[in-house]
Amino acid sequence: MPHLQQGGAMNAINLLMQDHKAVKALFAQYEGLSDRSFATKKKLADQICQELTVHTQLEEEIFYPAVRRPIHDGDLMDEALVEHASAKELIAQISAMDPADDLYDAKVKVLSEQIEHHVKEEEGDMFPKVRETAVDLDALGQEMAARKEQLTGVAA
């Protein structure tokens, strides 16, 4: 259950961590499928790709610009953007493939591993630094939730 702030609004870090947890669960479901479950694989992979696309857009449009200066770690922020670019490339490849293609499972697996690494850096390094700043995480969370709703049609 996400941690809610006063008034029921979720702060920015909790919103991102909720996304991380949801995508991790989707990857776990994918891993549990049989090799021949092509329709289910495609459905799950598409859902993973959609979730990650919205998540990276929220981070790049709203979260990263808001926290880049306050945390004083340009290298960490640059690495996060490069990791996003790499993930976007794999997402594009997976989205264009058929689940019966030879490298489909391998690409989903590599995407899973890249996202796991990215999440560890955000949750273990970036988020603690952000919490030490004066960034208004509640207001940022409200802005991100509204944008997420615009992108998905679903309230965050």
**Any idea what the CATH number is for the domain that residue 33 is in?**
1.20.120
Does the pLDDT value for residue 3 go beyond 50?
A: no
Residue 136 in any domain: the answer is yes
State how far the Cα of 111 lies from the Cα of 35, in Å rounded to an integer: 18
What pLDDT score does 108 carry?
98
What pLDDT score does 5 carry?
39
Q: Give tens-digit pLDDT for 12-38.
A: 999 999 999 999 999 999 999 988 899
Q: Output the CA–CA distances (angstroms, integers) from residue 97 to 31, 41, 100, 101, 113, in the order listed.
A: 18, 11, 8, 7, 19
Residue 87 in any domain: the answer is yes
Residue 37 belongs to domain spanning: 6-152
> Domain total for the chain?
1
Round the average pLDDT of the chain to a whole number and report it: 93
Residue 130 in any domain: the answer is yes
Question: What pTM was estimated for this model as a whole?
Answer: 0.91
